[in-house]
Structure 1
Amino acid sequence: MGLTGWYVHHHGAGHLTRFRAVRPHLPGEVVVFSSMPPPRSLPPATTWMQLDRDDDGDPAGADPTVGGLLHWAPLGHAGHARRLATIAAAVADRRFDRFVIDVSVEVALFVRLLGVPTVVVTQPGDRSDDPHRLAYASATRVLAPWPAGVHRSHMAGKIVEVGGISRFDGRTREISPDPGTVLVLGGGVAESDLAAAAAATPGTHWQRAGGTASTWVDDPWEALQRAEVVVAAAGQNSIADLAAAGARAVIVPQPRPFDEQVATGRILTARRLAVVEPAWPGTGAWPAVLDRARSLRPDWTQWEVSGAARRAADTIAQVGP
């Protein structure tokens, strides 16, 4: 199997969560590169190389997009230079058979220029801009963590759609939902909005998992099973986790570059998998919104979560010698 490099983007917890879901199915040694500090524990045969940050300071005058050619390559930034130098030194010191990039156009191009075949993880939304096209064109494989055919793609023959990757793939539901229980998954919701929604829906019990240190739950599987309705954003990991749990859900897409979550919301609506609201509903709207979610009978098998992490690992392992 040889040696696999894996770049984990530092924004949020989703990229690391996806790595953790796929890693048990990927044989061989893996070296992770990320601006994130190393987690408390790592899988066997896995090492972590922490990279310098390059998103601090004022980018004004640093031409970080190179006139639109790239997404982030600021001029004169020592951290940016050191992070790429760290990757280059590692590749020069050991032979990497493949390198997964989740996600960075600049790292994808840099690693390919170093002579290592790449697997670039793509995301929903409009990725037809020049930097994304360049990264995908340079990749040996483009890995899409969504069901086959849900997003239009110009990467025919290169993209592999493996299904939604969930850390809960393989678990079975053992708890029936508690009537009236509403779980808010993740952050992005003000406590005042949460309190107002709870006050407007007598007979419901609202709780939160994630978003802040005080509400963070390492393993929300039990809470997902107990919830009659789950309220979440439209991030890839959240949707895959909802699919694994077979949840009835209200999805509120958050603003993201390239309309990533809005695009996912459209698919969920078209497939009748969730109630999708363009913004956090007004206080008076919540009773009807929850009633609509309770009436759903979502066929989450459409999200192809079962076996997705293994399919992703197989796609990665096929790249290289």
Structure 2
Amino acid sequence: MPRLGSVQQKIPCVFVTDVKEEASRKRDGQQFQVVATEDVNPIALEANVDCAIATEKLDGTCCYVTLHRGEPHLWARLDRKPTKQAEKRFRKHQRSHKSGKDFSWNVEEDFKSVPETWIPAHRVKHQDGRPIPDENGHIPGWVPVEKSNKQYCWHSSVVDYSAGAALVLRPGSEDQDPLEITAAPLADLQEQTLELIGTNVNGNPYGLGSKKQPVHFLVPHGSVAVGDPPPVDLQQLRSWFRESPAGRVEGIVWHCDDGTLVKVHRHHLGLRWPDGDPCLASRPVVVRCPGAGHAYDHGDGLLASFLEMDGRRFSRLQDVQLEV
């Protein structure tokens, strides 16, 4: 499968959306819902979404591989967000103008501090040399994942910087192949974005690992294709999510020929997630971690654990358990 778009910004919905004043199905404590209308987003139409590649939207947290101190490194998503006072002013402006546009930000004072190592995401707009927020009031960005930072301990569990490798879950080379768990060189993942999924991420919808033996993987964005997706039509998509075995996914991300990304997730359509066993968790998987002589051969992390399981096959991803 070709390498597809990098997820650096918030991906717009494939449909024009509306805001309903009712409790969110997606976020606890959020008293509004963003729902899809029947109208296809003009951005999607302009990008010819009907010819786009449909891929599974994964339920985890976004990561990025790029250089840090001259070496390929895993970075965690960290959006710079406004202070409580600035957030209140912004939301009040949105309610009165139906949009966050034309709101005047003071980037120096209105936003929470971030670590010195923080970098803005690609395509963040700048003004007077400083990154400025998007229409949602956030400045998307990244921080390097360090072993010493407990906040990102699950990110750290999937990388071994001494070996320059990361634990990756990806489809096999052919459509009918099982998924494969492998140790991928960080250099091969450079400038890609990936989703961290697993035991301690987003409530673990895929049922991976256990509290005693947590399991996490990086999944390259755009790597998991959606087979025979329905047309971009609200009712057909809703039926597909409800009735098709292939529809047991959180959502779809369409990768258009011009690089545009658009998405839909179940919450846009008023549907629950997860609902039954997710499609990804039910797929067969093989461990391919031939690592004799590598630095992680002598470690005690996830990479070393899967090295011991090289060649093992499981009928479902959900059945993968670390050997104690």
Please tell me the TM-score bracket, short chain as reference. Answer: under 0.3
Query: Which has the larger strand fraction?
Result: 2
**1 or 2 for the larger relative contact order (CA 8 Å, sep ≥6)?**
2
Of Structure 1 and Structure 2, the greater helix share is in 1
TM-score normalized by the length of structure 2: 0.25
TM-score (norm 1): 0.25
